[in-house]
Amino acid sequence: MTEKQPYYHPSGREIEVFEHAYTNKLPLLLKGPTGTGKSRFVEYMAYQLHKPLITISCHEETSSTDLIGRFIIKGAETIWLDGPLTLAMKKGAIVYLDEIAEARPDVIVAIHPLTDHRRELFIDKLNESIAAHPDFMLVASFNPGYQKGFKELKPSTRQRFVALPFNYPLPKMEVLILTNETGIDDNIAQKLVAIAQKIRNLKELGLTETVSTRLLVDAAKLIKSGLPKRLSVKVAMLEPLTDEPELIQALEDLSNLMI
């Protein structure tokens, strides 16, 4: 478990919702764009509830075997090795499946019996079901529509979770997050947030993802450690958004007017 309390600034009643989902043993889905504090929120809640947290970052290759476990050969023996999900279920941890929609479909199939009243996992390779420890909780994140041809979560899966929306914080709160996270001056934080606001509102640019709080935090860290402000904005907030030089130039011209 994390030793120091993670810093998390709530934007609504998400802490209360998490606590109640936990008490009622309901799985929780955090929906929203990348870099909006979903992972930080889960770290914070695990700390508050004094529970270990196991994070699994899902990607195209993530299969149920990666989560549940596999047989491995050790010397002359074949032994079973629990995967992170099985381990978490046994010891009563909080599991965070980050970007669940990215995982292979067999992952979704495997977690279904875990997300309803059964709270169990069938391990086909051992031909046995294991029941979740009473303290176990499943949390997943999902980024709706972040790419063209993005991966959706089927309604039958979504409806197994209590869901909380995440979005970019209000400017005042985002300034606070920046100053708390990085120790940067309030006035620079305000400028960074104003640039982010401006770019987020330029919907016509057709960016698949826009400036997230994570990118702002990165820019603030670079500035804090002495990198020039405009260069920090360019490399932390603009370059990650697109590879089109003309677009970068336009965004740079715009942000240079503001910092």
Rule CB under 6 A: is residue 214 a binding residue for ligand ADP? Answer: yes
Strands (E), 68-182: 69-74, 77-82, 94-98, 120-123, 128-131, 137-142, 162-165
Task: Name the token pair of 243.
Answer: 């590879």
Rule CB under 6 A: is residue 31 a binding residue for ligand ADP? Answer: no
Q: What x/- string results for residues 167 through 206 when contact with ligand ADP is judged by CB under 6 A?
A: ----------x---x-------------------------
Q: How far is the CB of 34 from ligand ADP (least distance, A)?
A: 4
Rule CB under 6 A: is residue 224 a binding residue for ligand ADP? Answer: no
125 vs 144 by CB, closer to ligand ADP: 144
Task: Name the token pair of 126.
Answer: 């051992």
- Select the span of 100-108, 118-126, 146-154, 210-218 touching ligand ADP (CB under 6 A): 210-218
Rule CB under 6 A: is residue 34 a binding residue for ligand ADP? Answer: yes
Rule CB under 6 A: is residue 236 a binding residue for ligand ADP? Answer: no
- Select the span of 59-67, 69-77, 146-154, 213-221 touching ligand ADP (CB under 6 A): 213-221
Q: How far is the CB of 224 from ligand ADP (least distance, A)?
A: 13
Residue from 1, 5, 7, 129 binding ligand ADP (CB under 6 A): 7
**Pairwise CA distance, residues 232 & 172, whole Å:** 21
Rule CB under 6 A: is residue 51 a binding residue for ligand ADP? Answer: no
**Pairwise CA distance, residues 67 & 231, whole Å:** 41
Query: Which residues have CB under 8 Å from 187's CB, separation 6+?
Result: none
Could you identify the residue written with the tokens 């001056």? Answer: 185
Rule CB under 6 A: is residue 36 a binding residue for ligand ADP? Answer: yes
Q: At what angle do helices 171-182 and 186-201 cross, to 10 degrees?
A: 130
Task: Name the token pair of 227.
Answer: 């990198």
Rule CB under 6 A: is residue 110 a binding residue for ligand ADP? Answer: no
Could you identify the residue written with the tokens 């970068």? Answer: 248
Amino acid at 101: A
Rule CB under 6 A: is residue 232 a binding residue for ligand ADP? Answer: no
**Pairwise CA distance, residues 138 & 11, whole Å:** 22
**Pairwise CA distance, residues 159 & 106, whole Å:** 18
Paired residues of 163 in beta bridges? 29
Rule CB under 6 A: is residue 40 a binding residue for ligand ADP? Answer: yes
- Select the span of 4-12, 186-194, 197-205, 228-236 touching ligand ADP (CB under 6 A): 4-12
Q: Which residue is nearest to ligand ADP (CB)?
A: 37
Evaluate whether 63 touches 198 at the Cβ level (below 8 Å).
Answer: no
Residue from 196, 217, 222, 251 binding ligand ADP (CB under 6 A): 217
* Structure letter (DSSP) for residue 93: -
Rule CB under 6 A: is residue 71 a binding residue for ligand ADP? Answer: no
Chain residues binding ligand ADP by CB under 6 A are 7-9, 34-40, 177, 181, 213-214, 217
